[in-house]
Every structure is written in C-alpha cells, then in structure tokens.
C-alpha cells in the first residue's frame, strides 16, 4: 500500500517512522520496432490522433544521457499457444470515467483527478481530498434493485468486468455459446465492501443486532466481487479472490495466468476493485499517518519522487483484464491487445509496513518476474512504478530497480498515481491498463508534480509531458502492507 510516517495506534508493531511496503517498477528496452495498437490474428492498425503529439521535452525535464542499445539475445519465451497468455479485453471504472481511451487520454494530458471529498462530510477530517469517483453509472450492467443494495466496491467490479468482457467480444450472447466451465473470474480487493461493513457495525451499535441487514456479511466479504460477476454471467471456471493489500491485482494476474498455463481455464476475467473513500477508510489511513495532508492544493498532493512529498493520496475504482490462452483467442478470432509474458510474487518477511532496507524483496521479485517471462533485463524499457508518493517507499523502489537494471539510460519510469491517487487493491488493475496502453499507443504518460526531484532518482520519470516511446517490454510493480511484492510483465503481441 503506502508508507507511513509517525506514530500509529497499532502499538508496538509499528515504528515511529513507518514506511511503505509497496514498490512498483517496470522497465523495457527499445528495439525501434513499432507494433500495431491492437493485433488481430492476422493484424490491424490504429494511429494516434495528431492532437496527442506534444513537445518531446518539458522545461522541467532533465537531460538523460543517451547510450547505444546493447545487442540482446533472442528471448526464451513461451511458444506453446496453449500456454501463451494474451490480453483480449480491458475494462475499468476510474476517476476519469469508464472509457479506456478517455482514461488514458487524461493520463497523457497530465490531468489530475484529485479533488476535495464531497461523498461525506469530511470537514472535520485532517485529510479532506482524494481521487473520488463522481457521476458513476451502472446502467445497463446492474439492475436497479441490486444496484441500490450493492457496495460501490462490487458495483465498480461488475461494471469493469462486463466492460472488459464486451471489449473482448465476450458479451452474454457469445458466452452462452461457450463452455463456461473453462472461463473463470479472479477479481481481488484490499478492503472489500467497506461501506457495507461500516453500515452493519453502525446498525449494531445504534439499533441492535436485529437491525443488521442480511446483506451485511455477503456484501462485506472480499470474494463477493468475483462471485457476483460469475453469477451475472454464468462463468463456472476458477473463481475466488486474493487480498494482499495494494499488491492485490497483480497477484490476481499472476494466479490467473497460471490457471491458463496449467490448462485449468481458457479465459480468466481478472483484476482488482476498491471503494475506500468513505469515513472508515479515510479515517483509518489518517490514523496510520500514511496520507498527504496538502488540503490547500489537492491536485499537487500526489508527487512521487519529489522532495516535498508527504504521503499518498487515496483513490478508488476497478481495473479488469481478459486473459486468454493464445489457442483460445485464435480459435474464436479474437483481437489481441498485448501479451502477458510472466510475473512473480515474493514477501519481504520483514515488517508490516516498512520495506526491507536492502530492497531484496522487491529486486528479487523483479528478477523472478523476468525469469518467468523469459526476458532479459536489457529488453525492458518501461516501468509503471508503484510510486505512491511516500518518503521511504518511492526511493526504496527506485533503488531496487537500479539493482536489476544496470543501464537505465533508455528506461522510462512513470507514476500513474501522481494523477489518480492510490487505488489500493485496484491500483495494479488500473496501472496494468496504463502499461498496456503505453505499449499499444507508443506514448508513455507523464508523472506530474515533479518540482524538486530527489537527486538519487536518475531514471527518466517522464516529468509533466508525455513522451513517445516504443515499449519493447514493460513491467508493472505493486507492493502491499505485509511485505507483499508483485511484478507483472507485458509486451506487444507478436504472433
């Protein structure tokens, strides 16, 4: 999740200066090869609108030393179409809406989605802002009666999941012709139905146990997103949830890909969901002293790698991918967006919230993910970093990345959270989509609020202005409280 500074009501288990156990990185090597935005079998082309093209540098950009690309041996990647895992659909709910292209366009423009909270009266809270979703609509995805009952965590999950299925040409009519026992759902969450849980506790305290709604338990437990999505669509394959704090979504991608590789499923609906911008969620993270308190200028609050950062900014939403065996995608003539090459998960085994000082948990996770993907470090030229804007976490991640990638001269590393905040269990899902869009568009979004960069951050963080960059291999990092580390590896699809 993120780092914490200061004392915390968790007693002796937390230090006076607790930092974040979340770090995320991805790096990719530029081979000068331009891939189509989405590759259908055989192929199709998409161009970038001219209005996205901007100056390649910003007044705030520092000079990055250019070096010739070393010759890289052919990768040892999976060749069996039954075990190759491709991305055939994407869906999200975000502070920038529920349209994938609109979401990424906002990121490319460097727009902040952070604002003052108005979902509840936060005037007495020491933190009064976040990446709150507004004007969300589930019309066409959830019937009215259920929509009124559901916790936002599950509403976001169902909408993002169904949008991803539609994007993959797996609407209900198509699904009804398929073997649904071969299609699974794995959408995790860090906090679960927090509003449902808080409302149930409030009813118990104020009115007694007889006034607790029968939906209290079902809508609170963390597996319900996957369950509800399967109930709505009839998908009968592997179905469960994973909850590893802010590393949740990446853990889900890793597990889902292995279900496909082992032959247990042909298609998996996978990602993360979260809706914690409510009194208990905000109040809890305030108590941990993990949040930025820049109430006077919320849009400037999330500032990864900047010397003046003072904590993370809460976000929310859901990000879901359709992961599918290449064999299945080929048989049904699916459009392939990108390829999942591999991933890894490790544990710091060190502290509830503090990262290891030697960075071993994170660096070993990156290394293991590349080994699983059949990729050399030299091939990676893009990292979507965990980068939560915490004092210890940001630099710990950078140091781990430098351990793995000895030459970072051609590496681009950006922080999606600088614009949308920290989506907790949904963060990895939203950032996987940002990583894949960087691959398909050839543009990496900027990191905003970089006015006073830490001198030890010598990697190009794409400050303020998007950059054109052909991604060869990209990684997306997610790290969570408890020492949970996860890295996933994506690349352009090559038949």
Active site residues: 246, 386, 422
What secondary structure, in 3-state letters, does 306-372 show? Answer: ECCCCCECECCEEEEEEEEEHHHHHHCCCEECEEEEEEEEEECCCCCCCCCCCCHHHHHHHHHHHHH
**Contact (CB, 8 A) for 268 and 259:** yes
**Contact (CB, 8 A) for 46 and 34:** no
**Contact (CB, 8 A) for 221 and 453:** no
Other C-beta atoms closer than 10 Å to the C-beta of 95 total 26
Cα end-to-end distance, the chain, whole Å: 36
Identify the three-state secondary structure at position 183.
strand
**Pairing mode of beta strands 183-188, 267-274:** parallel
> Comparing C-alpha atoms, which of 220, 130, 21, 161 is closest to residue 423?
130
Distance CA 452, CA 240 (A): 43
Question: What stretches of 70-143 adopt beta strand conformation (E)?
Answer: 85-93, 115-116, 129-130
User: In 64-133, where does DSSP find H-type helix?
Assistant: 100-109
DSSP 464-491: SS-EE---SSEEEEEEETTTEEEEEEEE
DSSP 404-455: H-S--TT-EEE-THHHH-B-GGGHHHHHHHHHHHHHHHSEE--B---SSB-T
**Contact (CB, 8 A) for 481 and 353:** yes
**Contact (CB, 8 A) for 130 and 294:** no
DSSP state of 200: H
How does 369-402 read in b/e, with b if 16+ C-beta sit within 10 Å? Answer: bbebbbbbbbbbbbbbbbbbbbbbbbbbbbbbbb
């Amino acid at each position: 999740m993120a780092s914490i500074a200061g004392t915390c009501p968790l007693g002796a288990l937390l230090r006076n200066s607790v930092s974040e156990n979340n770090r995320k990185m991805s790096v990719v090597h530029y081979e000068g090869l331009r891939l189509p935005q989405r590759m259908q079998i055989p192929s199709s082309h998409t161009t970038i609108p001219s209005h996205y093209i901007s100056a390649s540098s910003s007044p705030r950009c520092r000079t990055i030393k250019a070096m010739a690309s070393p010759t890289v041996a052919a990768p040892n990647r999976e060749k069996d179409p039954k075990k190759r895992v491709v991305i055939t659909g994407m869906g999200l709910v975000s502070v920038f809406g529920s349209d994938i292209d609109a979401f990424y366009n906002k990121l490319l423009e460097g727009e902040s989605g952070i604002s003052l909270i108005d979902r509840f009266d936060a005037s007495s809270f020491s933190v009064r802002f976040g990446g709150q979703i507004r004007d969300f609509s589930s019309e066409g995805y959830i019937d009215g009666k259920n929509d009124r009952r559901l916790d936002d965590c599950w509403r976001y999950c169902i909408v993002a999941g169904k949008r991803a299925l539609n994007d993959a040409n797996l609407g209900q009519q198509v699904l009804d012709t398929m073997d649904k026992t071969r299609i699974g759902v794995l959408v995790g969450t860090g906090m679960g139905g927090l509003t449902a849980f808080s409302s149930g506790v409030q009813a118990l305290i104020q009115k007694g146990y007889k006034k607790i709604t029968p939906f209290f338990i079902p809508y609170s437990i963390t597996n319900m997103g996957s369950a509800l999505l399967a109930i709505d669509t009839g998908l009968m394959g592997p179905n469960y949830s994973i909850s590893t704090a802010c590393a949740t979504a990446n853990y889900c991608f890793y597990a889902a890909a292995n279900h496909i590789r082992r032959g247990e499923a042909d298609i998996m609906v996978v990602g993360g969901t979260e809706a914690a911008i409510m009194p208990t969620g905000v109040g809890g993270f305030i108590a941990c002293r993990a949040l930025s308190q820049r109430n006077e200028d919320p849009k400037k609050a999330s500032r990864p790698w900047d010397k003046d950062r003072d904590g993370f900014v809460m976000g929310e939403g859901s990000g879901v991918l359709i992961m599918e065996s290449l064999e299945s995608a080929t048989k049904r003539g699916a459009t392939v967006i990108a390829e999942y090459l591999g991933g890894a998960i490790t544990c710091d085994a060190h502290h509830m919230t503090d990262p290891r000082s030697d960075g071993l948990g994170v660096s070993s996770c990156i290394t293991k993910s590349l080994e699983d993907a059949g990729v050399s470090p030299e091939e990676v030229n893009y990292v979507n970093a965990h980068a939560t804007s915490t004092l210890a976490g940001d630099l710990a991640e950078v140091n781990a990345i430098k351990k793995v990638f000895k030459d970072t001269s051609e590496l681009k590393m950006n922080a999606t959270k600088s614009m949308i905040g920290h989506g907790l269990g949904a963060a990895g899902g939203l950032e996987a989509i940002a990583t894949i869009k960087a691959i398909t568009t050839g543009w990496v979004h900027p990191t905003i609020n970089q006015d006073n960069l830490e001198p030890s951050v010598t990697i190009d963080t794409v400050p303020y202005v998007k950059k054109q960059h052909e991604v060869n291999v990209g990684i997306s990092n997610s790290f969570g409280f408890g020492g949970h580390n996860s890295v996933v590896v994506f690349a352009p699809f090559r038949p």
